[in-house]
Structure 1
Amino acid sequence: MAEQEALYDSEEGEAEFAHLEEYIETARADHEEPEEAETEDEQRGSGSRSEHRPHTTATQLLPTLPPLPVFEPLVQRRHNREPRYPPDFDVNGSALDYFQLFFDNSVFQQLAENANHYASCKGAGNSGSRLWQSTSAAELKIFFGIIIYMGVFPSAQVSDYWKRDNCFPYHRIGMHLSQNRFEQLKRYFHVSLSYQRLP
């Protein structure tokens, strides 16, 4: 009580309590059913407030929003085009056959050259860092395969795929690529060719 009287001694405190009471009454009026009649004590206690302040709902306090735009569904145009495959391609082939349509040996060879060049530009193996060995198209195929494997079998951390703890599932990734080498390839993998030494 003493704290409340102290707050009411200032105009700022009185305005704060008046705003709070108005908010509580508005929220209560929106979520409760109106009572049929009030007792004499309630009329005597709230009569002064109701005479000076009309009832306002929360909906009336919100700004008027513009109407929603008319929904127009996306119409997909049909076409009569047929896919064009290489003459010697088997349409009943495996998923790997379709993957190699976009990532053939020449693409992996170019990616390997770009990764080696980028590692050279970044000074890989210098300043006490792990020695960098040039990668190849064959190694990048394993690198890509591991990334796809991680997407099919997700784990909380990348290091989980190389763990030998019985609490984790056993993955055969380590038989093809070590974790340190995987991190190296991920660090220096570069799609485009860098023509100058990077800072």
Structure 2
Amino acid sequence: MKSLATLQQGFITLEELEFYLEGARLSDQASQCIKAVDPLTTGWLSRGALLNFYQANLRALDRGVRITRIFVTTREELADPEVQKVLLTQYRDDIEMRIAFRNELPTAVDIGGVDTNSTFDFAIYDDRAVTDVFGQSSKYYGRKTCQPVEVAKYLYIFELLEHSSHAVTQENDRIVLASDVLELAS
């Protein structure tokens, strides 16, 4: 029944491998921008499907596609050396990165009734298609939609998260919040 309801809302359900293949395909088709929100995990540099997805992101960058990625994490996780490797790699690859801390994210009330069952793990391609990971475990890993109403909801969530996020910079082979560097300089 859940799958049927998902299909009626204009979403296609995807298993994990299908999800990352679809993300790679959409990255390869993107011509303007990719806006992504991802939990900050260390698998970016080692998990096969995720690595292939990231390589598709790099091909998009080579074509001039602008990629903005908001990583959702905690202040403690930000200090982890493995997490820093992921951040440095993406920063050096010219992905525009921001950090959003879980305890600073907008609540469901702030988002104005938009479905917040999201894991804050989604991507928007050229403001026309969305892939989103399911928050609860199920037979399927994620979903995809091109329905304008649904895409608009994700764009709205992305804007709210972007507003709650922090710009980053590189300092001594570490990614730090740009605001922390400004504080130290003053």
TM-score, structure 1 normalization: 0.21
Task: Name the one with the larger helix percent.
Answer: 1
Larger Rg: 1
Task: Name the one with the larger strand percent.
Answer: 2
